[in-house]
Chains A and B, each alone.
Chain A
Amino acid sequence: MSQAMKSINAAMGAKEAAAPQVGLGKLPFANFLPAILPLVGALLVLAARIKFGPSVTPADGTLVVLGLLSYIFAAAALVTNFWAPIGFLQRLGLWTGSLGFFFNLAGWLVRWVAAGERENWIRITENGKTFFSYIPYTNLYDLSVAFAFGAAFTTLLISNRPNTRFVGAISFPLIMLILLMAVFIGDRFVDLPPVLDSYWRPIHVGVASLSYGVALVSFALSVVYLIKDGVKSEAIGVAVTAFFIVGYIVVWLMGGFKAFDPASFNYSLNPVL
C-alpha cells in the first residue's frame, strides 16, 4: 500500500469529532473559517475599491496573479502532505489555499468595478441596465477566474470535514492550472457586444462557472476514491488518455473538421457558435 493510499484511508477513517485541523480551537464553525474569511476579506477589498478608487487596492490582474501564487503554494504543500503526512503542511496548504481564494475572488470583484469605470457606468446611467451589465463574465479569462474561485471555495467548504480534507491535494493543482491559463490569456477588457448585455449573461455564465467549480471538486473526490481503493495509476492514466482522445476528436468534429486539425497544422479554433 502506497503512502498516498495510507494517508487517504487514515483520513477517511477519521472521526468527525477529532478535529483541531485548522488550529483554531473548538469554535463550532472554526473549520469553515478558511472558506468564510476570504469572502469577508474580498468584500472589504471591494468596498475599499468602490470607496477610495483604484489607487488603494491592487489592480484586478495583480490580485489574480497573487491568487495564482498562493494556489501554487497550497498545491505544493498539500501534494507533499499526501506522501509525507505532516500536520503542519496540511494546515499550511489549507491556509495558503484560503489566501489564494481571497486574492482570486477579490481580483474578480475589483475587475467588476474596473469594468464599470472603464465605461463610466454608461450602461446604467444611459441605457437603463443594472450593474450586472459589468459582471466579469465576458470571455474565457473572466470565466476561468470565476471557475477557479468557485472550485477553491467548494474545496475549502468541504475541507471543513477531516475525512474530505485531502481533496485539496487534487483540486488545488487543477485550480492552479486553470488560473495559470487565465493569466496566459491576459486580463485585457473586451468590449461587450450589445447582444451580450442581457440579464441572461450573469445567469448563463454564472450557473456554468458554478457548476464547473463543483464538478472539479467532484472530480477530485472521485480520483481520491480511486487511489484509496488501490486502482493502479496506469489504469487511471489509460482511462484519462482515452477520454482525452475522444474529446479531441469531438472538438475536431465540432470545428467542422477545420479546428484543431492535426493534419493541417492549423490550430485556429473555428467553433460552430
Chain B
Amino acid sequence: MAGASEIVIENAPVAPDGVEEAKPKGGQNRSGLSVVIDGFLNLLSSVPFGIVLLVLLIIGCMIGMLIQQQELESFPAYYAELTPAEKVVYGRLGFFDIYHATYFNLLLLLLSLNIILASIDHFPAAWSFITRKKLTASPTFAMAQKFKEKVELPQLGHQQLVERATAAARKMRFKARVTQTNDRTTIFAERGVWNRLGAYAVHVGLLTIFVGYFLTGRGHTGSMRIDPNQSSDRMLKNEFNIDNANTEHAINVRELELPFTVECLDFQQKLINKGGSLGLGNTLDWFTTVRITDQETGKKTDALIHMNTPFDYRGYRFFQQSYGMPATARVMKLRVTPTSGGQSQEITVPRDGEAKLADGTRIRLNWFHANFSVGRDQQVVASREQMFTSMEYENPAANLGYVTPDGKQGEVWAFNETFANQVSNAPFMKKFMDNGAYQFVLTDFEKAPTSSILSIQFDPGARVVYAGFTILCLMLIAVFFFSHQRLWIVVEEGNVYLGGDANRNRLGFEDRAKKVAGLVRDPQSLKNIGHE
C-alpha cells in the first residue's frame, strides 16, 4: 500500500500556503530528547520503514512455513530428523514456535503502529481531494497536465462550448462542476474520488487481521485421544523445550484443562470396501459421537464430529484428526454352539456392551485381535509392533469374557470360520475355542480402530481474521480496479483546453479523456466510432 500512499502525496492538490513549510513550534531550541523522539516518530511513520518491517515479517512467516511448528502432530518425527546443531539454533531462535516468539509479535506491533501513524500522516492530503477540489484552472494549468488536448472551435459561442463540454464530460460518466470566472469557464470533471480513501480501507483490513492474529495468539491447539465409553477433559499439546534440546525430553506434552468433559459415545470408520483394510485409501469417513458436559452449567450436548465437519462448542472447535490403532471391531456377530450338540445361537456383541445367551450367560469382548496367531509355546502371539501398525485383518479373533448364571467367570476365543475350521482338529487349540459348554465362532464384524483422535482448537481470533481478509480482498479490488480521474476543461476565447490525470490506469483515463475531447469537437463522434 506504500505505493498508493506515495501517489497520494505526489498528486496532492496544492496545499494552502504555509502548510508544507510548517515546522514544529520552537524548532530552534529543542532539547536533545525531543529530537530523538521526533526522529523516532518520523521513522516509525515512514513508509520505507513499514516496507522493511513487512519484509522481515514475511521472512518470519516463511521460516514458520519451512520449519515445522511445535504444535503439529508430526512435529516429534520431524524434530528427530534434525541435526543437534539445528535443534539448538532453531530452538534458541524460537523457530519452532515463531508465531509466539516475542520478536515476531514485536515486529507485528511495530508494523501496526507504522500503518496507523503513516495513515494519520497521509490522510489529510487524501481527504483534501474530497473536501478541497480544485474547481478552477487556467489554460496553462490544463496544458501542463499529463494528458492534454486543445480543441479550437472559434465558430461556436462561449456558452455553447461550455454546454457541449459539460455534456461530453457527463456522457463519459464524469461528475462535472462548472465554475465561471470572468471570461473563463472551468469544468471540473471527476470520477472515483473515493479511490483516494481506498488505501485507508485496505489498512483497516490489514489491522483487523493483525488484531485477529493477536487474539489467536491467546488460543490453543491440541489433540485428544479418546476411546468409546471414555471421557476426558484434557487436551494435549506438544511443547518444545529448549533446555533439553538434545535429549528425549525435548518435546513435552502439555495437558490443558478444558471447561467441559468430552465423552465418546461411539466411534465408527466407514470403509469403501468392507472387506478391505483400515487404510486411508479404503476409508470414506470416521464418525465420532461425543457428549459434552459443561462443567459450569452441567448442560449436556451431543454432537457428531467427522471429516471436514467440525463441531463448535464455546469457542472450541473439534475436528476429526486421526485414529488410533490397534484395529478392533465395533460390533461383532458370533455363532454359539453348545458343545453337547444342539441348536446354535447367533448373538451380536457391541465393542463395549454385553450380549446374553439363552441360558443367561453374559458375554463381553475383552480384546480383539486382527492378526491372531499362536506361537510354539502354544501361547497367543501378540506383537505390539504389529498391533499398533497393521491396518489389515488377516486372521481376526475375539477374546471374550463370560459369566455364567451361576457366577462362573472365564475367557474364551472366538475365531473366524476359516481359522476355526483349520484348527478345530488341533487338540491344543480346543482349550482356546470353547469354554466347556459352548464353542464360539466369529461370523462377522464391523472393522474399526480403537481410538478416535480429535484435534481441538481454541481460536478467539478466527472470526476477526476472516473479517479482516474479507475487507482486505474487497478493498484491494476496489483500489486497484478503479482510479481517481480528474479532467479540467477550460473554455476561453473559443478554445477548449482539456488537461487531467489519474492516479492509476492512465491509459484507460486517456482513452476516456480523448473521447471527451472528441465529443467536444463533434458531439456525434462516439456514434461514428461505434463504441459504447
Contacts and interface: CB of A to CB of B under 8 A. Distances in A.
Contacts, number: 37
Contacts of B282: 191
Contacts of B65: 272
A122 B272 contact: yes
A30 B270 CA distance: 52
Given A119-B272, A122-B284, A195 B307 contact: yes
Q: Which residue among B283, B284, B286 has the maximum number of chain A CB atoms within 10 Å of its CB?
A: B284
B308 A253 contact: no
Contacts of A122: 272, 284
- Secondary structure at the B interface, as helix, strand, loop or mixed, is mixed
Given A119-B272, A194-B283, A194-B286, A254 B66 contact: yes
A193 interface: yes
B66 A126 contact: no
Interface in A222-246: none
A197 interface: yes
Nearest to A200: B308
Interface in B260-303: 270, 272, 280-286
B270 A126 contact: yes
A197 B281 CA distance: 12
A193 B66 contact: no
B270 A127 contact: yes
Contact of B280 (A123, A126, A193): A193
**A: contact size bracket:** 10 to 19
A191 B286 CA distance: 16
Interface string A5-16: 000000000000
A256 interface: yes
A119 B270 CA distance: 14
Nearest to A258: B81
A190 B285 CA distance: 17
Contact of A127 (B66, B280, B285): B285
B281 A198 contact: no
Contact of B285 (A194, A253, A254, A256): A194
A7 to B, nearest CB: 25
B284 A127 contact: yes
Interface in B50-72: 65-66
Interface string A197-231: 11010000000000000000000000000000000
A191 B270 CA distance: 15
Interface in A111-149: 119, 122-123, 126-127
Contacts of A272: 65-66
A256 B63 CA distance: 10
A237 to B, nearest CB: 29
Contacts of A195: 307-308
Interface residues of B, number: 13
Contacts of A253: 66
Nearest to A255: B66
A253 B63 CA distance: 11
A254 B272 CA distance: 35
Nearest to A123: B284
A131 B20 CA distance: 65
Interface in B94-127: none
Contacts of B284: 122-123, 126-127, 194, 197
Contacts of B283: 193-194
B280 A194 contact: yes
B307 A197 contact: yes
B78 to A, nearest CB: 9
A272 B284 CA distance: 26
Contacts of A194: 280, 283-286, 307
Contacts of A123: 284
Nearest to A192: B281
Contacts of B270: 126-127
A123 B308 CA distance: 14
A127 B285 CA distance: 8
Nearest to B309: A198
Interface in A141-200: 190-195, 197-198, 200
A193 B270 CA distance: 13
Q: Which residue among A192, A195, A253 has the maximum number of chain B CB atoms within 10 Å of its CB?
A: A195
Contacts of B285: 127, 194, 197
A191 B280 contact: yes
Contacts of B280: 191, 193-194
A197 B308 contact: yes
A127 B308 CA distance: 13
A198 to B, nearest CB: 4
Nearest to B282: A191
Interface string A90-126: 0000000000000000000000000000010011001
A188 to B, nearest CB: 12
A166 to B, nearest CB: 23
B262 to A, nearest CB: 22
Contacts of A256: 66
B275 to A, nearest CB: 14
B65 to A, nearest CB: 6
Contact of B281 (A191, A200, A254): A191
Interface in B181-221: none
13 contacts: A119-B272, A122-B272, A122-B284, A126-B270, A191-B280, A193-B280, A194-B283, A194-B286, A195-B307, A198-B308, A254-B66, A256-B66, A272-B66
Leading 4 A-B pairs by shortest Cβ distance: A191-B281, A198-B308, A193-B280, A194-B307
Given A122-B284, A123-B284, A197-B308, 7 more contacts: A126-B284, A192-B281, A193-B280, A193-B281, A194-B285, A198-B308, A272-B66
Interface of B: 65-66, 270, 272, 280-286, 307-308
Interface of A: 119, 122-123, 126-127, 190-195, 197-198, 200, 253-254, 256, 272
